[in-house]
Amino acid sequence: MWDKLKSVWQVKEVRNSLMFVILMMVLFRLVANIPLPGIDLVALKRFFDANQVLGLLNLFSGGTVRNFSVVALGVAPYITASIIFQLLGMIVPRIEEIQKDGEAGRHKINQWTRLLTVPLAIIQSFSLLALLRQSQFPILTNESPFHLLMIITAVTAGTLFLMWIGELISEKKVGNGVSLLIFAGILADLPNAVSRFLATYDSSQWMTVVLYVAVAILTVVGVVFVTEGQRNIPVQYARQMRGMSSSTGGATSTLPLRVNMVGVIPIIFAISLLIFPTIIAQFLSRAQTVWVADIARWITITLQNQWIYGILYFGLVVGFTYFYTAVVFHPDQIAENLQKQGSFVPGIRPGKPTAEYLQNIIQRITLGGALFLGAIAVLPLIAQGLTRSTTLALGGTSLLIVVSVVIESVKQIESQLTMREYDSY
């Protein structure tokens, strides 16, 4: 381990990339502690403590909603825009063609995602303000239209600022920028979470602490196990004859297919889709139209049921694992590249049969990885049902994201080091 850390520090490009990422995360935390005027932070914290869903929203935003800073929404609108275009890519043939159009297609989709982030940030900031105005706590001390417009503008600009920072971090290839921003927010909020737990702790809660430690260990071990698991597909390179007596090629290699190719993205997507209907339902629960208010209250009550919430969370994690694997893994392209390199999978014909074989393999191993990841995701909810501790559920989700982000970043850093080792030969 120490040799790897030494290698990271010795390689100038990787060292500069890590320093840049750390600097950007520090800048993010500085901006996250600039509160907007006209907000009673004490009343806001009481409101969040009384609502578990808003606690998830605070976690998802990177810990910026609890103090209603300039970047209160975090990168949530940008993630929502990404989900929308990825779903449209599976429904609209034209968008699917653009997504497959190499670097130019990805650039165009990214540009559309940025543009969609702006109206989504405006809508989400307006909805959040409306939700705060309906609270029983006097959170907004100034409700003039100009002041509310100023808050919406500032929060939208803050989201775009974080979106830009996240893309800059991703370009350094030491981790996903959006995931690292959420990771930084979780770590920054860790001292506050520990202090809040210790403030209410007494000797009768020792079982909760033991259970929390057990869930934490199982989560870390489970995420590492799933992320490191892979299926090695044997690949044979065709032998090429040169002259009458010499030949080259004929080497054997492997094509590694990971059990979890998408890291923490399914968990972030699942949390975002669970938060969105709950926030909208709480916003509409006091609507003047009776049937709208009744439906909103029914949605709120339904999602507060731990069994229903856990089943939905589990299903969304599994579904998004399959969905995002289909987005990032293209067996047709892999089969085509193998054929161009003069290689093949033993016993499988090159071309379409190889693509079908790889697709069947990835579907089987993704099933195990998705089910295991979904089980790890709902494990804190099961522990919460046993201990009645809200902190345990939020802490388990935080730990799940932190471990996944760390593993993803370590893999990217190792790949950069390996690439530079080859370049030095």
pLDDT, position 12: 78
CA dist 84 and 270 (Å) reads 13
| Cβ atoms < 10 Å from Cβ of 50 | 12
Please state, in angstroms and rounded to a whole number, the distance separating the CA atoms of residues 321 and 98. 22
Q: What is the pLDDT of residues 45-63, one digit of tens each?
A: 777 766 666 666 666 666 6
At 304, which amino acid appears?
Q
167 vs 328, which has greater pLDDT?
A: 167
Fold match, 1-201 / 202-425:
yes
b/e 220-240 (16+ beta carbons within 10 angstroms → b): bebbeebbeebeebebbbeee
Q: How many residues does the chain have?
A: 425
Residues 199, 370 contacting (CB under 8 angstroms):
no
Q: Residue 63's pLDDT is what?
A: 65
Closest CA to 275 of 397, 391, 165: 397
pLDDT at 124: 83
The mean pLDDT value for 345-350 works out to 84
SS3 105: helix
**CB neighbours (10 Å) of residue 56?**
19
Residues contacting 84, CB < 8 A, separation 6+? 116
pLDDT tens per residue across span 75-122 = 888 888 888 887 787 778 888 788 777 778 888 888 999 999 999 899
In CATH terms, 1-201 corresponds, of 1.10.3370.10, 2.40.50.100, 2.20.25.90, 3.30.43.10, to: 1.10.3370.10
What six digits make up the tokens of 80? Answer: 């929502």
**Closest Cα partner for 256 from 415, 376, 423?**
415
CA 195 to chain centroid: 26
Q: Which residue has the higher pLDDT, 359 or 385?
A: 359
243-301 pLDDT tens trace: 554 445 557 788 888 888 777 778 777 877 777 777 777 767 777 778 888 888 888 77
Domain ranges for the chain:
1-201, 202-425
In the predicted model, is pLDDT for residue 366 greater than 50?
yes
Distance CA(140)–CA(13), nearest Å, equals 47
- CA dihedral sign of residues 280, 284, 286, 291: negative
Helix 265-284 / helix 306-328 crossing angle, nearest 10 deg: 130
| 3-state SS class at 237 | strand
Query: Quick one: average pLDDT of 342-361?
Result: 85
Q: What is the mean pLDDT of residues 198-209?
A: 70
Looking at the predicted structure, is the pLDDT value of residue 399 above 90? Answer: no
pTM: 0.76
Q: H or E element: which one contains 233?
A: strand 230-237
pLDDT at 193: 67
* pLDDT band per the 50, 70, 90 thresholds, residue 156: very high
The CATH classification number of 202-425 equals 1.10.3370.10
Provide CB contacts within 8 A for 173, sequence distance 6+. 17, 412, 415, 416
